[in-house]
Every structure is written in C-alpha cells, then in structure tokens.
Amino acid sequence: MKRRTFLQALNLGIASTALYHGVGNAMSLTAILNSNFHEKELSYHRIQEIKYSTVQMKYPRLVGKNARLDLHGYGPNVEICVIKTDKGAMGWASLRGSRKDAKQIEKELIGKKVSELFASNMGILNDRHIAFDIALHDLAGVILQKPVYELLGREKPYTTDYYSGMIYFDDLEPSEKPAGIDRILEECRYDYGIGYRQFKLKIGRGHKWMPFKEGLQRDIEVTNAVAKAFPNCGILVDGNNGFTVDQFIQYLKGIPLVNLFWIEEPFHETVADYQKLRNYINATGINTLLADGEADPNPALLKELFEKKLLDVHLTDIEGLGFTNWRRLMPQLKKMGAQASPHAWGSLLKSYYTAHLAGGLGNTVTIEGVASTSDDVDLSGYKIQNGKLIPPSTAGFGMPLLKKI
C-alpha cells in the first residue's frame, strides 16, 4: 500500500484507534490484568539489535499470468527483519516496505523497552514503526511465550477456510504450446491433495492475453470444468479488474450452474458499477460474496461500499495495511456487517500471519493460501484440516528461522 493511502486510512478513521479485545469494545477486568502483566514482562526487554536478510519461498510450480500481469514465477525472495533484545529474545517477520526505509528509523527502536514500542492489546504504538509491525508481534509472542492469536484475545484460535490462491492462466503456458484446461485441472488436483477445499480461479484472459470473446469463453470453460471436477469444493473467482461491469455480467451468464463462493475485483470499484452488479446477482438469485480492496485501495470509497452493502469482504493486504491496522480495522468491519480476508498472495508467510489475525479476532471468511516450501524457514507447525488452516500454539507466529542471520 502506498504511504499516502495508508495515512489516508488513518485520517479517515477506517482504522480506528480504539482499543479492541474480544467481541466488544470494552476490555474485561481479566483482560486488563493480563494486559498489565504482559506490559510488565515486555518492559524487561530492550531492543538491542535489528538485522536484515531474506528468506526464499518456493512454489511447487510455475505460476503464470493473471488479467494484468505476466508470469509470476517460482516464488519470492522475501525481505525480513530480525529483532533481538538484551535478554536474548528474538522475533522476526517480513519487512514492511524497503530495507532502506527501515534502516532510516531503526535507531528509534534501539535501546527502547519493548513495552515502549508495542502493547499486546493494541500492537505497535507509533505508526512510524510499521516496517517492524509484524516482527514486533512475533517478538512479543516469544517474550510472553504465547502465540500471536492469544495476544489478540483467544486461547483457542478461531479457524476458517483456506483457499488455493495460485490457479492462474497456466492453461496459456508455455506460449509456444499452451497446455490448455487440463493443466488447470491438474493444478487443482495437486492443491486438493495438499488439503485445500476451495480454489480461487483467475479470470479475465480477454483483458490482455486473448481476444476478448475467446478469453471470455475460456474463463467460462475453466470455471465450469473446475466446478464439475470438484463438486465438493468452493469456487472463488478473481478478475484483477480485467472486466467492465457489463463484460463481467456476460461471464456470469456463462456459468449458471456454478455456485460461486465469492467474486473478487471484477472491475475497479465504483459505487455505480457495484450497484449494477449487486442488482444483477440479486435479480438472478445468485448467492455469492463480493470482495474487493486489494489493488490501490481507496479507504473512503471502500467504507462507502461496505456501508451501502455493495461489498461483503474487505481484502486489503495483511502487510500493506499492517497487522496493527488490521487489528484496528476488524471491529469497524464487524460494525458494518462486513467480513475480512486480508490479501496474502505472493508469500506463504502472509497466509500464516493472517491465520493468527483470524485466529484471534474471527470475522474472517477464508484465508488466501500460497503453497510453498522453504529451506530458510520451518513452516511445519501449520496444518490444513478439513480445508481449514490451523496455526500452531507455539510462541509468536510459530515459524522458527532455519537460516542463520
């Protein structure tokens, strides 16, 4: 998320500064006592050192195009930060933003008590430190010997559905001899074997990679084929803003027997277009969720769309908005009757951070999965059971670093 957009979100009040614990806005006596104990424990530790590195995440296959972008490759090399205290505690996580920007403010953290930077019932205490937001959550969990979801209020985490977010336009690859729809079905079978029971299909081939009519027809054929082959699985579709509203309605007319779990970013959001789409799905009896807010989100417009019941699921990125700001946003979504599913594409680390956000606060309809392995991180604590993502009960985010930093 652009810094301008992030600050706009704060100024508009979508990310409320009110403390939040459990299902209500008021903290219970037990929560207050726990919070006081947590802050006392955190105050014993001072930040001694911050280091930077990367961890390599590896996809099980080449991930191809979507409606707007070319090949996505075999997995990212994720920038991370490692925070150590004078008592020997260590937390780490993805770095929000660039290493250069983080280094410019790291001196503000060195020598500070952890409790001066972070509160267990709130998150980071200064928005300037957002680069270290997720790592400070991990560090606090390590110091307190609690999983992050427990810092958010749940001894036993809420669990939710977990979808495969890596079904791209791989039917179009390789360009010299496209594999066709069978490749998509093969990928779905692989992901089903991992444990996913929801598939998000990228659509919008006619926006950039095929003539519109041919691309639309392929989108329809892929959706129908996957729904037929996996009748016990949820089908989500993501247009990456590759349609007009009228073009997207054409797509819906081609899949009358498919019960879509959600529709994501079919076009760049406007009140008029989402009103037209909502009217169409209501008139035709389509029972699906409308999800948006990933690409260059406009907080004021998103708030309006949710208040007018034109959107159901908020998608802003878990790292882009920030973990602390998601903690602030979640109760506001509940008040509007909206649900969450923070965008997590690219890095499995983001999926696992989201599992703790959802585990502690609930109100998350499903979690985006990005199947990956890594020689740099122990990812084994997380499990998929009955199509749901289960976070570990170990301290912090429960992902020990295997790479020596």
- The DSSP result for 352-391, as a single string, is HHHHHHHHHH--B-EEEE---B-SSB--TT-EEETTEEE-
Instruction: Quote the mean pLDDT of the chain.
Output: 93
Percent of the chain with pLDDT over 70: 92
Q: Is the distance from CB of 197 to CB of 387 less than 8 angstroms?
A: yes
Q: Is the distance from CB of 45 to CB of 88 less than 8 angstroms?
A: no
Provide the pLDDT for residue 29. Answer: 54
- Determine the Cα–Cα distance for residues 62 and 22; give it in Å rounded to an integer: 41
Instruction: Please give the C-alpha separations between residue 289 and each of 19, 252, 336, 370, in angstroms, as whole numbers.
Output: 29, 14, 15, 21
Percent of the chain with pLDDT over 90: 89
What 8-state DSSP symbol labels residue 73?
A: B
pLDDT digits (tens, 9 = 90+) for 106-119: 999 999 999 999 99
Provide the pLDDT for residue 27. Answer: 52
- Determine the Cα–Cα distance for residues 277 and 148; give it in Å rounded to an integer: 38
Quick check: 26 pLDDT over 80?
no
Quick check: 22 pLDDT over 80?
no
- Determine the Cα–Cα distance for residues 381 and 368; give it in Å rounded to an integer: 18
Domains (range + CATH), the chain: 45-149 (3.30.390.10), 160-390 (3.20.20.120)
pLDDT digits (tens, 9 = 90+) for 201-244: 999 999 999 999 999 999 999 999 999 999 999 999 999 999 99
- Determine the Cα–Cα distance for residues 403 and 405; give it in Å rounded to an integer: 6
Query: What burial class does residue 274 get, using C-beta atoms within 10 Å of its C-beta: 0-12 exposed, 13-18 middle, 19+ buried?
Result: buried
pLDDT band, residue 21 (cuts 50/70/90): very low
Taking alpha carbons only, the member of 148, 260, 266, 160 closest to residue 203 is 266
- Determine the Cα–Cα distance for residues 28 and 206; give it in Å rounded to an integer: 54
Give CA 218 to chain center in angstroms: 28
Instruction: Please give the C-alpha separations between residue 154 and each of 37, 158, 275, 396, in angstroms, as whole numbers.
Output: 17, 8, 37, 14
27-36, 81-90, 129-138: which range is least confident on average? 27-36
- Determine the Cα–Cα distance for residues 180 and 194; give it in Å rounded to an integer: 23
Q: Is the distance from CB of 81 to CB of 135 less than 8 angstroms?
A: yes
Quick check: 16 pLDDT over 60?
no
- Determine the Cα–Cα distance for residues 163 and 261; give it in Å rounded to an integer: 11
User: How many CB atoms lie under 10 A from the CB of residue 176?
Assistant: 5
Mean pLDDT score, 121-128: 97
Sequence-distant (6+) residues with CB within 8 A of 234 are 161, 163, 197, 198, 199, 261, 366
pLDDT band, residue 14 (cuts 50/70/90): very low
Q: Is the distance from CB of 80 to CB of 52 less than 8 angstroms?
A: yes
Give CA 79 to chain center in angstroms: 17
pLDDT digits (tens, 9 = 90+) for 35-86: 787 889 999 999 999 999 999 999 999 999 999 999 999 999 999 999 999 9
pLDDT band, residue 296 (cuts 50/70/90): confident
2-6, 84-88, 215-219, 246-250: which range is least confident on average? 2-6
Quick check: 24 pLDDT over 80?
no
Taking alpha carbons only, the member of 6, 3, 54, 114 closest to residue 349 is 54
Mean pLDDT score, 149-159: 97
Provide the pLDDT for residue 126. Answer: 97
Query: What burial class does residue 284 get, using C-beta atoms within 10 Å of its C-beta: 0-12 exposed, 13-18 middle, 19+ buried?
Result: exposed
Mean pLDDT score, 387-405: 97
pLDDT digits (tens, 9 = 90+) for 155-207: 999 999 999 999 999 999 999 999 999 999 999 999 999 999 999 999 999 99
Three-class secondary structure of residue 338 per DSSP = coil
Quick check: 145 pLDDT over 60?
yes
Q: Is the distance from CB of 351 to CB of 391 less than 8 angstroms?
A: no
Q: Is the distance from CB of 204 to CB of 243 less than 8 angstroms?
A: yes
Provide the pLDDT for residue 32. Answer: 59
Taking alpha carbons only, the member of 14, 272, 101, 393 closest to residue 383 is 393
Three-class secondary structure of residue 51 per DSSP = strand
The CA angle 279-233-206, to the nearest 5 degrees, is 55
Give CA 283 to chain center in angstroms: 31
Please, what sign has the CA dihedral across residues 89, 373, 225, 211? positive
Mean pLDDT score, 306-322: 97
Three-class secondary structure of residue 211 per DSSP = coil
Q: Which residues of 24-47 are buried (b: 16+ CB within 10 A; e: fewer)?
A: eeebeeeeeebbeebbebbeebbb
pTM for this one?
0.92
